[in-house]
Amino acid sequence: MAVDWGARRIGLALSDPTRTIASPLRVIEHQSRALDAAAIVQLANENEVSLILMGVTYDDQNDLTPSGRSAIRLAEAIHAQGGPEVRAVDEAHSTRTARQSRLEMGLPRGKRKGHFDAIAAVLFLQTYLDNNQ
């Protein structure tokens, strides 16, 4: 499972059982760190997830950005609630790439809203799957 943390929404993606293909799972609205972590742990348990990839962002000096630090705190909350192992991965502009791909598909603005987060999670989950076969 991949988690793309955002201040308003959290995108989730899931791999198939063979760990070959990543697909969007859902987008959850951010409520609080504890409630977000509980929702993610519940979804992870329902989908028999053994590893969560938490997308984090870095600045030009390779230090965590404020958003990256928030994502790390969410990862810690997931771990504290008994969730599966959580690994931080560089999401490297995945939301921007997801937004651009939706624009290139020609989708109307109303159909693009809110879906970037799950697509962003798919992008870095698929990269992880491709690199760890």
- Mention every residue, 6+ apart, whose C-beta is less than 8 A from residue 118: 4, 11, 12, 13, 24, 25, 26, 27
Give the start-to-end residue ranges of the domains of the chain. 2-131
Scanning the structure block, which residue is given the tokens 């999401």? 91
- Mean pLDDT, rounded, of the chain: 87
In tens, the pLDDT along 34-60 reads 999 999 999 999 999 999 999 999 888
Query: Which of 53-57, 90-94, 110-114, 118-122 is the least confident region?
Result: 110-114
Rounded to 5°, the CA angle 37-40-41 comes to: 85
- Per CATH, the number for 2-131 is 3.30.420.140
